[in-house]
Amino acid sequence: MSSKDFVNEAVIKWCTGCGLNSMFYSTCAVLDELKLKNTVIVSGIGCSGRAASYFNLDTIHSMHGRAIPTAAGVKTANPKLNVVVFSGDGDLLSIGGNHLLHAARRNDNITVICNSNEVFGMTGGQASPTTRKGGITLTTPEGNTANKINIQPIVTSNEKYFYARTTPAHPEHLTKCLTEAMEHQGFAFVEVINPCYVNFGRRNNISTPKEILTYLRTTFNISASTRLAENQLGIIKNA
């Protein structure tokens, strides 16, 4: 087998240079490396939700905000399956935020890969839970006045947890985070920082894929800390 076996024949329609492409192919490579053909992919609504159409696996394109409980239901029905959620911050942390709380609390044995792109990208660029303070979006033209959500303490407030933060600009680290998350027995959440260069970047002076990658490389650094600062990437877990 190869990672190509996990990609079907559909035309991938993410924007050229968007980090979602790296996330998708890295996920396929990890599934191949770990020999996880017996995998179900669940996605929600939005740009990230397109992933359900691209994996050559059993997939579910669930309702908006319902990817996590759908995945938990699949895992409950057949515990032998490897179940992965591939969706965005608007889907997982906004309308689906309540499901994140309880799946993490129950330590459901699923892996969640979150495209944290700072906007609702597919619907025009409205502010999302991860929009930075001061960020200009369709619904915050004068700059976002609210602090962005901090997923780390939400996930790690439980007795057992796995939380990773990475970016498409750190490909080796991205692969490491995905690998450890899929090997983890319990609830694993991978936050992939990936600002949308179309609907967020163009309003905030980082308007090309190259500028986004430069921003990510110069802003974030990999850390071995057991608590990640805002500009740090890493893996923290307690099995």
* CA count, 13 A, side-chain hemisphere, 140: 23
Are 87 and 69 in contact by the 8 Å Cβ rule? The answer is: no
* CA count, 13 A, side-chain hemisphere, 46: 34
Are 36 and 82 in contact by the 8 Å Cβ rule? The answer is: yes
pLDDT of residue 132: 97
Q: Are strands 232-238 and 161-166 parallel, antiparallel or unpaired?
A: antiparallel
70: CATH: 3.40.50.970
Q: What is the pLDDT along the chain (239 residues), one digit of tens a residue?
A: 678 889 999 999 999 999 999 999 999 999 999 999 899 999 999 999 999 999 999 999 999 999 999 999 999 999 999 999 999 999 999 999 999 999 999 999 999 999 999 999 888 889 999 999 999 999 999 999 999 999 999 999 999 999 999 999 999 999 999 999 999 999 999 999 999 999 999 999 999 999 999 999 999 999 999 999 999 999 999 98
CA distance 6 to 1: 9
What is the DSSP code (8-state) at residue 55?
B
For the chain, what is the domain count?
1
Domain extent, residue 45, equals: 3-238
pLDDT of residue 130: 96
Are 115 and 23 in contact by the 8 Å Cβ rule? The answer is: yes
Q: What does the block give as tokens for 102?
A: 């309880």
CA distance 90 to 118: 8
pLDDT of residue 4: 87
pLDDT of residue 121: 86
pLDDT of residue 1: 62
> What's at 47, amino acid-wise?
C
What is the four-CA torsion angle of 63, 45, 168, 33, rounded to 10 degrees?
A: 40
